[in-house]
Structure 1
Amino acid sequence: MTFQERYGPWAVVAGASEGVGRSFARAIAAKGVHCILLANGGPLEEAAVEIEADYRVECRTAHIDLSRPETFAEIVAAVGPRDIGLYVANAGADPYGARFHDRPASDWLGLIGTNITTTVQSCHHFGGRMRTRRRGGLLIVNSGACYGGCGSLAIYTAAKAFQLNLSESLWSELRPHGVDVLTLVLGQTDTPAYHRLQAKKGMPSSPNLASPDAVAAVGLERLPHGPVCNWGLADDDAGYLPASAAERRERVVAIEAALERVFGKAEPA
């Protein structure tokens, strides 16, 4: 099947107003698939107008806060009767970069809502319909944070680890039904959200940031070959992925030391 036959006629892209999500929407539209763009603010309408003009597909938008309990019902309402062949869960960046007890629990519950609750509900709803029609794809944009916990990113790393395990499990369950599942694990990427966090924390500019357009291209290319694609690594390259308990422990300590340069050293009890 062509991309359009396999993942069309409509795709939903969550977190589509800028950065990686916007690049995914453009790349999907370029393949002839109509798009529904979801985001909580940002230049969402501008992205839709641009995509329709460039690729001659329909592009609908819905301004939805993806962190709230009522989010899923709003997504279903925005989609309406359209036949969704591809769901891209791209929203979920950590805007805080703070230690667990330095923010109210409500902030962390919102981050959990975006990364876990909304993702689970959407994958269950759209993935179930794809299973019935025996074609489609679920693509969850992830982070290297999924491979281990560290201070100042407790909920983010936990949520991304959830996405990793969810993706691998859904890939196993849905593959026999013709539905592709991929989690695309990214490193530092040249997005507005990343630069906002850098500015907030006074972090120096990072070299060699991944291009959102390149990320989207690789994600769609690897979608049929899930469940995991690690950005910048060959499929058989373990890279930074630890295996043993000792190696995981060493990774936490190493990242802890690196983050102290940004967040400062934790005060002893």
Structure 2
Amino acid sequence: MNESDLASYGPWAVVVGGSEGVGAEFAEQLAAAGLDLVLVARKEGPLEETAGRCRAHGRDVRVVSADLTVPADLDRVMQVTDPLDVGLVICNAGANSYGSDFVDGDLAEFMKVLTLNVTVPMALAHHYGARMKKRGSGGIVTIGSLSGYLGSSQHTVYGGSKAFVRIFSEGLWLELREAGVDVLHLVLGVTDTPAMRRAGLDFDLPGLVVGRPEEVAAEGLAHLGDGPVHVVSGNERGAAAGAAEDRARAVLGHHRLMSELMRRRVSHDA
């Protein structure tokens, strides 16, 4: 999809999780395509930095510092954007903010993971999707993960939440396509983002496919009209493993890879 095609989703786009990494790349590429932006994230400093780069393209850019796990903050994002003609929403906020073996972990913390990864995308899609349906055009992008295809130790809730959003997005695509609204669930693999670097992930693990934020965002925008699901290039094998007949073998294989990533991270941190 070229820049003129992307401009048709305007005039305004909301990028949730737009302060850094893939979200920031979405924002900059949309600004370059001629869309005005509302950027939403928790940290105001990184938000303003990204906003400055987007304004350099001559666009109107507004920032909203918000913790979307707090209902009042989520409502505030919607209220701030209600006067604007929003034609595109990128639901990039979502992370494994708490990792632990499930039965040994804190249930309240797991519930926060569900809120960020399930409740927030649902609420955003409901609010903006209704407006787009009325205007007869628009686009909604949800961000997925290979973790949503196979279960993984200490990622039980996160993986389950990503599986939910993938199936939810497919259903939403069916409901909105006749109204002229595109829905895309973009499935990421390991991606070299600031958050992953802060987590100490070792990107040099042999055979590991590592995505670059600018390439991931560009690929997502290029396939925006193709919905309902697009797996970022290089990760097709991982997604296909989710349909393996020998489910136990596939889950164990995925578990070994994730365990090695965690081991290498611990070694790197040490």
Q: Distance in 1 between matches of 2:215 and 2:60?
A: 23
Q: Distance in 1 between matches of 2:262 and 2:34?
A: 45
Secondary structure of the equivalent of 1:138?
Answer: strand
Q: Distance in 1 between matches of 2:240 and 2:46?
A: 36
Q: Distance in 1 between matches of 2:240 and 2:63?
A: 37
Q: CA deviation at 1:11?
A: 0.4
Write out per-residue CA displacement over residues 85-138 of structure 1, whole angstroms, 9 at most, x where no aligned residue.
Answer: 000000111133432244422221111111111110110110111111110000
Out of 118, 138, 142, the residue aligned to residue 140 of structure 2 is 138
Q: Distance in 2 between matches of 1:20 and 1:263?
A: 22
One-letter amino acid of the counterpart of residue 21, structure 2 = G
CA contact (8 A) 2:17 2:41 kept: yes
Which sections of structure 2, spanning at least 5 residues, go unmatched?
264-270
Q: Distance in 2 between matches of 1:225 and 1:29?
A: 21
The 5 A counterparts of 1:5-84 are 5-41=7-43, 43-53=46-56, 55-84=57-86
Quick one: percent identity of the two aligned structures? 37
Q: Which range is displaced more, 213-222 or 249-258?
A: 249-258
CA contact (8 A) 2:191 2:213 kept: yes
Tell me the equivalent position of 1:127. Answer: 129
Tell me the equivalent position of 1:267. Answer: none
Tell me the equivalent position of 1:212. Answer: 213
Secondary structure of the equivalent of 2:154?
Answer: coil
Which sections of structure 1, spanning at least 5 residues, go unmatched?
265-269
Q: Distance in 2 between matches of 1:93 and 1:152?
A: 13
Tell me the equivalent position of 2:233. Answer: 232
One-letter amino acid of the counterpart of residue 19, structure 2 = S
Q: Distance in 1 between matches of 2:148 and 2:115?
A: 17
CA RMSD of aligned residues (A): 2.2
Secondary structure of the equivalent of 2:199?
Answer: helix
Q: Distance in 2 between matches of 1:6 and 1:146?
A: 31
Write out per-residue CA displacement over residues 177-207 of structure 1, whole angstroms, 9 at most, x where no aligned residue.
Answer: 10000011011111011112226xxx56446
Out of 194, 197, 200, the residue aligned to residue 199 of structure 2 is 197
Q: Distance in 2 between matches of 1:81 and 1:109?
A: 32
Q: TM-score when scaled to structure 2?
A: 0.88
The 5 A counterparts of 1:167-182 are 167-182=169-184
Q: Distance in 2 between matches of 1:198 and 1:205?
A: 12
- Seen in structure 2, the aligned counterparts of structure 1 residues 241 and 64 have a Cα distance that, compared at 3 Å, is same
Out of 189, 192, 195, the residue aligned to residue 187 of structure 1 is 189
Q: Distance in 2 between matches of 1:226 and 1:262?
A: 31
Q: TM-score when scaled to structure 1?
A: 0.88
Q: CA deviation at 1:242?
A: 3.6
Tell me the equivalent position of 1:117. Answer: 119
- Seen in structure 2, the aligned counterparts of structure 1 residues 244 and 21 have a Cα distance that, compared at 3 Å, is closer
Q: CA deviation at 1:250?
A: 1.6
Q: CA deviation at 1:244?
A: 5.3
The 5 A counterparts of 1:234-249 are 240-242=239-241, 246-249=245-248
